[in-house]
Amino acid sequence: MLTSMPDERTRVAAIDCGTNSIRLLISDIGAGSKVDQLREMRIVRLGAGVDQTGHLSEESIDRTLMATREFAELTAMFGVTQVRFCATSAVRDADNAREFGDAIEDILGVRPVVLAGLDEARASFLGATRDLDSVRTLVVDIGGGSTEIVVGTGQDIEWSVSLDIGSVRLTERFLSSDPASVSEVIACMNHLDAVLAPVVTDLAPVGSFVGVAGTVTTVAAHSLALPTYDSRRIHGARLALDDVRAACMSLVQMPVADRRALPFMHPGRADVIGGGALILDRLIDLLPLDTDTLVVSEHDILDGIAWDMVSA
C-alpha cells in the first residue's frame, strides 16, 4: 500500500518480462497521480519450452535481449531516472535464470527482480484497481505461464493465488493440433477444472470482476468485433459474461491462420490465444461471481510495478 508520494514527479520505467511478451511503461508519478508517457510491447516467447525443459532457450533469450536493448534506448531517450525490470513465470521456472539476469543487468544496469507468484498477483491487482471504485473486486491476470487471481477492496488485498496455468503453457501441453481437436480441448478444460475448482470453491461471491493482460484484452476485442486494436475502446469496457465466453470458444475453434487474420490480433499471440481463452472461459464458469459482466482493464502489473517504484 502506498503511504506517501514525492512532491515532484519522478519519471520511471517499469518492464514486465513474462512468458510470452516483454512490455515497457514509462510514466511520470507524483502527488498521488500517474501520467503515462509510453507503453510498448514485444512478443519474445521467452518461456517457449520451459514447461518441458525447465530451461530458457538461447533463441528465446536472444529475442528478449534484443527487445531489452530497444527498451534501454527508449528509457534514455525519455530521460528516465529509475528503471525496474520484473520477470515472472518463465524466469521463476528456469534453471538458467541467473545467466539471464546477468545479461539483462549488462544492458540496463539494474538486476532483474524475479517476482514470486503472489507478488505478481499483488502488482497486477494494484495496477488494475487504482483507478476503479473502492469496492470488493476480483482481478484475473492471465499470462503466458501463470494466472493470478486476487480479491481485495481498494488497495487492500484479502486473498490471492498464482497458478501454473497460462496461454503458452497450456498450448504446449494440450493444444498441438491446428485447430485444436475436440479431445485436446476437453483434456485442457478438464485439467483447468481440476486446478481451479479446489482453489476458488470457498471464495465468497464477488460483485466486481476485472480482467487484465493480453488474453483478456484480445478476447475483448473479439467480443466487440473491433476493426483494429483500439485501447480506448478496450480499456474500461464492460462485457456480458455470456458474450465473453462465446468469444473465447470462437477463438479456440479457429485455425491459427484465421486468428492471425483478425484485424486486432497481434501475430505473436495468435498461436496461443486459444489456451488463454480456455482459462478465461473456465474461470467465468467456476468463480463465485455476483455479476454478469467483465470489466476489461489495460492497467495491470506494469502499472503496479511503476507505483511501487515511488512508494515509501
> For residue range 252-277, what is the model confidence (pLDDT) as tens digits?
999 999 999 999 999 999 999 999 99
Q: What is 10-117's CATH number?
A: 3.30.420.40
pLDDT of residue 312: 45
- For the entire predicted model, the pTM comes to 0.90
Q: What is 129-297's CATH number?
A: 3.30.420.150
pLDDT tens for residues 110-121?
A: 999 999 888 989
% of the chain exceeding 90 in pLDDT: 84
pLDDT tens for residues 108-153?
A: 999 999 998 889 899 999 999 987 778 999 999 999 989 999 999 9
10-117 matches 129-297 in fold: yes
| Alpha-helical runs (H) found in 33-181 | 50-53, 58-77, 89-93, 97-108, 117-129, 167-174
- Neighbouring C-beta atoms of residue 3, cutoff 10 Å: 6
Q: Specify the range with the lowest mean pLDDT, choosing from 2-16, 29-43, 63-77, 136-150.
A: 2-16
pLDDT tens for residues 163-208?
A: 999 999 999 999 999 999 999 999 999 999 999 999 998 999 999 9
pLDDT at 6 over 90: no
pLDDT tens for residues 72-99?
A: 999 999 999 999 999 988 898 899 999 9
The residue extents of the domains of the chain are 10-117, 129-297
CB 7 within 8 A of CB 35: no
Return mean pLDDT, the chain. 93
% of the chain exceeding 70 in pLDDT: 97
